[in-house]
Amino acid sequence: MEVYEKIFASVAAAILVLFLGALAYGALVLKINLPGHGEVISPGPGENLAVAVLKTPPFNTPGVKQVSPGKYEAAIMAQAWSFMPAEMDIPAGSELTFKVTSVDVTHGFFIPGTTVNMMVIPGHVSLETYRFEKPGTYLLLCHEYCGMLHHTMVGKVVVK
Amino acid sequence: MSTPVVYGANRPFDLPSAQRRIIAWTIYVGFFALAVGVANGLAQALNYAHVDIFKYYPGMRTYYQGLTVHGVFNAVVLTFSFANGFVQLTMARGLNRPCNDFLLRAGFAALVIGAVLAAYAMFAGKASVLYTFYPPLMAHWSFYLGLALIVISTWLTSANLFAMLSAWRREHPGERIPLLAYISVVTYIFWDISSLGIAVEVVLLLLPWSLGWLSGAAPLLSRTLFWLTGHPIVYFWLLPVYISWYAMVPKQVDGALFSDAVVRLVFLMFLCIIPIGFHHQFVDPGVSRGLKFAVAVLTFTVFMPSLLTAFSVMYALEIGGRRRGGKGLLSWIFKLPWGNPSVSAQVLAMLAFMLGGITGLMNASYNMNLTIHNTAFVPGHFHLTVGTAVALSYMGIAYWLVPFLEQKELWGRRLGVFQAWCYFIGVLLLARGLISGGLAGMPRRTAISLVPYQEPAGWRIAGMLVGVGGTLMFIGAALFFLVLFMTVLFGRRKEVRDIPFTETIQPPQSRGWQVTMDRLSYWVAFSFVLIAVVYGPFLVSHLPPRLVAQPFQAF
Ligand code: HEM
Ligand SMILES: [Cu+2]
Ligand SMILES: [Cu+2]
């Protein structure tokens, strides 16, 4: 019986190692990555977080900007219960980098059907890039509870 | 040559009847919380099916108020009450000595006062912050104080276990700790260490903040402290159930536990690998990718003890099935005593746990988390684990525990068996719905019946499954309460001398490497070192806390 125990444990361990290998492959080779360490927004003494955010580029001019051919960057502010801007338009095939921060509570930033899925935490900038190949309208949801009307906090990405 | 897992197996179990009453009431507090919790669960499940019955619930102003009650009552009050009551009992049986009267009572008092305070805040609508209470959502101070007291009740329970253990050790120098006592006390040592994150968060940051003594909240630091405890808390829910699966279920199916050492090893692995809460923060800003990947690896490591459990418990069941005349590769399964509601509930709970474990591994899979984080997939996963593997096992345990505590015969055995199947089939449908919905992007923690947009394909059918499954679970739970109620109030008197406990085929060795497993301080030290390595740099770089966020109470 001890033999069976050992066989079972080794097979189990081998499977886990295999899975981890697949995850590392996905991260390093396929470049499917989690959001990493982003910038920090610190209000000065006595200053409100919302004021500090509005002074910090790129959130002083929220919206979508082209940074180079086929590459766009969106600066988005999340606040209960809307995204600002709530709609982003880009041409199909382009790469869009989202820079998101919150002026009040923790929000979510989730576009179903893509790998855009982040938490938006007050005082931090969340960063994620995604290439939108297919034209269409993508739903943007706040998927972290943020108060009474949390379920109404939505936006969209329109890819033409 | 098998050895019982308790000390003094042949002597009667001497637990004073006053202590028995307190343990009974501790557990009833938990089941009362479960009753309130599942009532809200029904409304949540129907919400996903676009049926809004919340508006008929008295005192519930929003979906999220109910969801807070559901999370706190089920995942905190139920689980902590059950653990406190059950593990003090298993410790007392393991060492065959009574509890410390004062600590038993103090733990119960802290639990009740804490639960009442938190319940007040939630029902008054002053704490609709969900059971994760991420600041700067700010609840009324009584919510935080209540939670703190509930945690203190677990510490008082630990103190009781330690007092019992050290008294026993003084009388039995050099002897191995009986297995049942060992796994009971390791469960609580593990939890004491794990609970430090939330304790620091609540006592040093949130409580003073809610009283107006701090200028703001530190959202990321608080989240991190929360998940430092919030990950291992799931094992604190689970380990009392493992105690039953390892030490009691084998006896109930006429089987036996194979190896003493493997069980101790499993519990030690949980104790040693605590700091993996960052896997709940895979998509957080402010945490580096390197740390996230390292924690993913550690998380896979703690999957091992659960795989070992699957193996050991299944083998114990097989021994039972074969002793009862089962043959063949799998047909021994049918020979298990399925007519015993305590067994059928717990074996079904184990089956649910396999699915729960697999979906948990998916959650933990680093970049795969991008498709499922905060979608309905997550509650789909944990209703298989805590919602069933744990909760349905509690019900199964209650089927022998309540007769023991009350000295009464169980009322409605057949109904008990039916109840377990109903709940089990219900959760399979509910989880199937939540999981497929989640993969189609359906968010969790969302009043889906009220959303202002056109829902993507796949959400509707997923939501219907959730509604149907949740209703079956609710019926299953309601029948459990009927059985419980009838047993306590109208059950026939019957003397129940002892609790079930199994024997091990390979007994503990009194020399060699196995003895080091009983030197608990070594393992505790190792556990702290690992926590310091994983969390130290992060926490140091967040001190002093950046209190940037202002309170928010629009709920
Ligand atoms: C009749 C039985 C139950 C039903 C129908 C049910 C249903 C649900 C549903 C549909 C959700 C998702 C709500 C949302 O995300 O919007 C949920 C959340 C949850 N459930 Fe249950 N549940 C039941 C029993 C349990 C039990 C027994 C436990 C634990 C012991 C539990 C623990 C939780 C937790 C922790 C959450 C998450 C709350 C949050 O996101 O803040 N549930 N439940
Ligand atoms: Cu939200
Ligand atoms: Cu976890």
pLDDT digits (tens, 9 = 90+) for B402-431: 999 999 999 999 999 999 999 999 999 999
Mean pLDDT, chain B, rounded, equals: 95
Backbone CA torsion sign across B158, B159, B162, B168: negative
- Would the pLDDT of A90 be above 70? yes
Q: Classify B354 in phi/psi space as left (phi over 0), alpha (psi -120 to 50) or beta.
A: alpha
State the DSSP string of B90-138: HHHHHHT-PPPHHHHHHHHHHHHHHHHHHHHHHHTTS--STTT--TTB-
- Asked if B554 and A148 come within 8 Å (Cβ–Cβ), the reply is yes
Q: What is the mean pLDDT of residues B306-323?
A: 91
Averaged pLDDT, B65-84: 97
pLDDT above 90: residue B511: no
Cα B229 to ligand 1 centre (Å): 20
Phi-psi region of B176 (alpha: psi -120 to 50; beta: other; left: phi over 0): beta
- pLDDT above 70 (res B146): yes
pLDDT band at B460 (very low <50, low <70, confident <90, very high): very high
**Ligand 1 residue neighbourhood (C-beta within 6 Å):** B 37-38, 41-42, 44-45, 48, 67, 70-71, 74-75, 78, 130-131, 379, 383, 386-387, 390-391, 444-446, 466, 470, 473-474, 477
Question: Residue B452 class from Cβ within 10 Å (0-12 exposed, 13-18 middle, 19+ buried)?
Answer: exposed
Q: How far is the CA of B385 from the centre of ligand 2 (A)?
A: 26
Is B215 in a helix, a strand, or coil? coil
| Residue B26 CB coordination number (10 Å) | 25
Alpha-carbon distance of B279 to B530, in angstroms, equals 16
Say whether pLDDT at B171 is over 80. yes
Contact A35, B287 (CB under 8 A): no
Q: Which amino acid is at A34?
A: L
Closest ligand (CA of A119):
2
* Peptide bond before residue B379 is cis, with ω within 30 degrees of 0: no
Least confident span in B86-90, B388-392, B452-456? B452-456
Domains along chain B with CATH numbers: 17-542 (1.20.210.10)
Digit-coded pLDDT (tens) for B9-46? 999 898 999 999 999 999 999 999 999 999 999 999 99
Range of weakest confidence among A6-10, A68-72, A151-155, B345-349: A6-10
- Residues B552 and B410: their CA atoms lie apart, in Å, by 49
Q: Which pLDDT value is given to residue A36?
A: 76
* Separation between Cα atoms, residue B129 and residue B199, nearest integer Å: 18
d(CA B423, CA B331): 24
* CB pairs A-B closer than 8 Å: 195
Say if B423 is an interface residue toward chain A (CB within 8 Å).
no
State the pLDDT at residue A1.
52
Tell me the backbone φ, ψ of residue B129, rounded to 5 degrees.
-115, 10
For residue B237, give the ligand 1 atom closest to its CA: 30
Report whether the peptide linkage leading into residue B136 is cis, meaning its omega lies within 30 degrees of zero: yes
Helix or strand or coil: residue B212? coil
Question: Best interface-test mutation with B: which of A17, A49, A105, A130 has the largest number of B CBs within 10 A?
Answer: A105
Q: pLDDT of A39-79, one tens digit each?
A: 899 888 888 999 999 999 899 999 999 999 999 999 999 99
Report whether A110 contacts A117 (CB < 8 A).
yes
Region B315-342: what's the mean pLDDT? Answer: 93
Residue B212 has pLDDT above 80, yes or no: yes
Of B292, B303, B549, the CB nearest to A123: B549
Structure ipTM: 0.94
Question: What is residue B307's predicted lDDT score, i.e. its pLDDT?
Answer: 87
Residue located nearest, by CA, to atom 16 of ligand 1: B445
Active site residues of B: 231, 235, 381-383, 444-445
- Could you tell me which chain B residue has the CA closest to the CA of A22? B365
Res B52: pLDDT: 87
The overall pTM is greater than 0.90:
yes
Question: What is the C-alpha separation between B30 and B402, in angstroms, rounded?
Answer: 13
Looking at beta carbons, which residues of chain B come within 8 Å of A13?
304
Tell me the C-alpha distance between B107 and B326, whole Å. 45
From B486's Cα to the closest Cα of chain A, the distance in A is: 40
SS3 content of chain B, % helix, strand, coil (to 5): 70, 5, 25
Cβ-Cβ contacts under 8 Å, A145 against chain B: 64, 130, 137, 445
| Distance from residue B234's CA to the centre of ligand 2 (Å) | 25
pLDDT at B1 (0 to 100): 55
**Which chain B residues have a beta carbon less than 8 Å from that of A118?**
283-285
SS percent in chain A: helix, strand, coil, step 5? 25, 40, 40
* Shortest CA gap B437–chain A (Å): 11
Q: Which residues of chain A lie closer than 8 angstroms to B128, CB-CB?
A: 148
pLDDT of residue B135 exceeding 70, the answer is yes
Per-residue model confidence (pLDDT) at position B60: 85
CB-based contact, B51 to chain A, within 8 Å: no
What residue in A sits closest to B452 (Cα-Cα)? A152
Confidence (pLDDT) at B322: 94
Residue B382 CA to ligand 1 center (angstroms) comes to: 8
Local confidence band at A3 (pLDDT 50, 70, 90 cut-offs): confident
Q: Which atom of ligand 1 is nearest to the CA of B471?
A: 5
Pocket perturbation via mutation, ligand 1, pick of B34, B36, B44, B475 by most ligand atoms within 8 A of CB: B44
